[in-house]
Amino acid sequence: MRDGPRRSRLGLRVVALAYLAMLLVLPVGLVFWRTFEHGVGPVLDALGDPSVLHAFKVTGIVAFWTVLLNTVFGVGVAVLLVRHRFPGRRALSAFIDLPLAVSPVVVGLALILAYGKFAPIGGWLEARGIQMIFALPGMVLATVFVSLPLVVREVAPVLEEIGIEQEQAAWTLGAGKVQTFKRITLPSIRWALAYGVVLTLARALGEYGAVAVVSGRLVDKTQTVTLVVEERFQNFDQTTAYAASVALAAVAVVILVVINLLRPDERNR
């Protein structure tokens, strides 16, 4: 009898681990193995390719702006949703989750319809020398769109949980709204925000569908790392495809590890 729960727990673990192994460890491990099959030399050569380096730069730029915009917007919307009551609040809340439900390809097409050369807004911007589609602004827009909920959904529950009393206490002690936000609210949500930022960053580095549509895949211009991987893979340059994949995965893993190393001692407080 006493063995029952223990055995079933063991069984559950085996199932969970096997599932993870099949889904995650095996494929990712194989990519690593294939990449370093012939040593580090070919990998470094492949990553030294000017087009690949340019793609990393493009991905970096897109990720930077996406994180910046999403952080500011995400915190703003979370504060709005949690701290204010206004008509349309629930609609806004539902709208925030839309990007999770809509396919990124659809997002890309929708952006072309709105911001393309022949669309009203796109045309207006084009006349003022700002090209959105097939250029970086459109790619940032697409990436921001697909990662929209990530910061909001991390920050909003924490804001809810800490409540408004600390902020009100700060007001009665003379702190203005901006001071209160900087000294009280921001430190209280910093870990949720960091987590949201990491998720956004990971999403921005890995985004493919929406970016593929709005970028036009112009080599050495709007090609991101994910687009390079796909292009090289189609053209049988597997060494480069794998090398770029591994580099991309490595960046994401490093970020996740760093955030998880920093987090626990803060949690104990």
Partner 1 sequence: MSIRATGVTKRFGDFVALDDVSVEIPTGSLTALLGPSGGGKSTLLRIIAGLEQPDSGRIEIAGEDHTTLPPQRRNVGFVFQHYAAFKHLSVRRNVAFGLEIRKRPKDEVKRRVDELLRLVHLEQFGDRLPSQLSGGQRQRMALARALAVEPKVMLLDEPFGALDAKVRKELRDWLRRLHDEVHVTTVFVTHDQEEAMDVADEIVVINNGVVEQVGPPDELYDRPANDFVMSFLGPVTRLGGKLVRPHDLEVFSEPDTGTVPATVVRLVRLGFEVKVDVVVGDEELWVQLTRGEADRLALGPGSPIHLRALGAVSRPPARAH
The residues of the shown chain that bind partner 1, judged by CB under 8 A, are 162, 165-166, 168-176, 179, 183-184, 187-188, 269
CA 213 to chain centre: 18
Which amino acid makes up residue 253? V
Nearest to 57 by CA among 265, 246, 244: 244
C-alpha 69/C-alpha 67 separation (Å) is 6
- Residue 219 token pair: 């080599």
C-alpha 233/C-alpha 245 separation (Å) is 11
Minimal distance, residue 201 CB to partner 1, in Å = 24
C-alpha 213/C-alpha 105 separation (Å) is 7
Minimal distance, residue 85 CB to partner 1, in Å = 12
In angstroms, the first-to-last Cα distance of the chain is: 41
Whether 201 contacts 255, CB under 8 Å: yes
**Considering beta carbons, is residue 166 or 239 the nearer one to partner 1?**
166
Whether 115 contacts 121, CB under 8 Å: yes
Q: Which residue blocks in 186-237 are alpha helix, DSSP H?
A: 186-206, 209-215, 225-234
**Considering beta carbons, is residue 69 or 82 the nearer one to partner 1?**
82
Minimal distance, residue 86 CB to partner 1, in Å = 15
**Considering beta carbons, is residue 38 or 190 the nearer one to partner 1?**
190
Please name the residue that has the structure tokens 């990124």: 104
Minimal distance, residue 161 CB to partner 1, in Å = 11
C-alpha 81/C-alpha 89 separation (Å) is 7
**Considering beta carbons, is residue 169 or 250 the nearer one to partner 1?**
169
**Considering beta carbons, is residue 27 or 187 the nearer one to partner 1?**
187
CA 64 to chain centre: 10
Minimal distance, residue 172 CB to partner 1, in Å = 4
**Considering beta carbons, is residue 34 or 183 the nearer one to partner 1?**
183
**Considering beta carbons, is residue 189 or 246 the nearer one to partner 1?**
189
Minimal distance, residue 191 CB to partner 1, in Å = 10
Whether 142 contacts 112, CB under 8 Å: no
Minimal distance, residue 183 CB to partner 1, in Å = 8
